[in-house]
Amino acid sequence: MSTSAATAESGGLTAAELLQGWRKLGVEEGMALIVHSSLSSLGRVDGGAATVVASLRAAVGPAGTIVTPAYTAQVRDPDKTHVGVPTAEVIERRAAVPTFRADLPTTVGAIPEALRSLPESVRSPHPYASLAAVGAQAATIVERQTLGFAIGRTSPFGRLHDLGGHILLLGVGHNRNSFLHYVETLTPRPRLRLGRFPYEIDGERVWVETLDVATDNSTYFPTVGREFEQQAGIPEVLVGAAPCRLLPIRPFVSFAVRRLTELLDADAEAARQRE
């Protein structure tokens, strides 16, 4: 029976039915898995996000690891375009921005928040681009993350790559696949932006500026992801109502660095010709 059929009979997906879906997708015990997800895409789930997290942990077993983004968009400068001495209004808005702490809720969805909230969950320290993890390699994966290029080579993404992990896209597309930001840091001419956030140094709250890759806004990431799936023969599997794909990180990164470089180079050449 498909997970969709089981849902129709029971009224909601159970952890056992979700586990059946992850197995069909190719999730195995011992995997290090980063999950980008949409809870609502699954349809009704008995127990909600906590059930999804439990089913994923069961799928990778005690030797495996589950990682999710735990980004905190609320820890960012609300007046990032303001330059010079701040006005009273800017000072007030910036004062309302929280300083990052390990128990600060994530803004990227119910499944990441359910994983982050587990007592045994550990989290990387970046103010707005942290990751949360549970499992055998969790502490190793999240132990270090630089303030600049937070999704770069020395981040948890780099360690997931080195571990030969996998990416699970659960009801979302490659516009939500943060590994493509990691890929962009490896290209010769990445698109860049300044990040600004509050940070505590020796008990003093200061504002920090760092360089990072820019948002893609669905310009190239969906194309790169789709082409890799076609080239690698990645199947799409319905788990509940959610289209899901499982991608091996190392082959994905190798392909995506080359292809994204080509697209960025072509864009730069077109811009030169317009000058």
C-beta of residue 223 within 8 angstroms of C-beta of residue 217: no
Long-range contacts of 115-121 (CB under 8 A, 24+ apart): 115/53, 115/66, 115/68, 115/70, 116/68, 116/70, 118/53
User: Residue ranges per domain, the chain?
Assistant: 3-266
pLDDT digits (tens, 9 = 90+) for 216-261: 999 999 999 999 999 999 999 999 999 999 999 999 999 999 999 9
| Distance (Å, whole) CA 60 – CA 145 | 24
- CB count in 10 Å sphere of residue 272: 8
Residue 8 has pLDDT above 70, yes or no: no
pLDDT digits (tens, 9 = 90+) for 152-191: 999 999 999 999 999 999 999 999 999 999 999 999 999 9
pTM: 0.92
pLDDT digits (tens, 9 = 90+) for 245-257: 999 999 999 999 9
Q: Which of 48, 50, 70, 182 is nearest to 133 (CA)?
A: 70
Quick one: tokens of 5?
């059929």
Quick one: tokens of 92?
């007030």
**Distant-in-sequence, close-in-space partners of 9: CB < 8 Å, separation ≥ 6:** none
Strand pairing of 65-69 and 32-37?
Answer: parallel
Residue 275 has pLDDT above 90, yes or no: no
Residues in the chain: 275
Between 275 and 53, the higher pLDDT residue = 53
- Alpha-carbon dihedral of residues 27, 124, 264, 249, nearest 10 degrees? -20
What pLDDT sits at residue 10?
A: 52
| Distance (Å, whole) CA 73 – CA 147 | 15
| Distance (Å, whole) CA 164 – CA 147 | 24
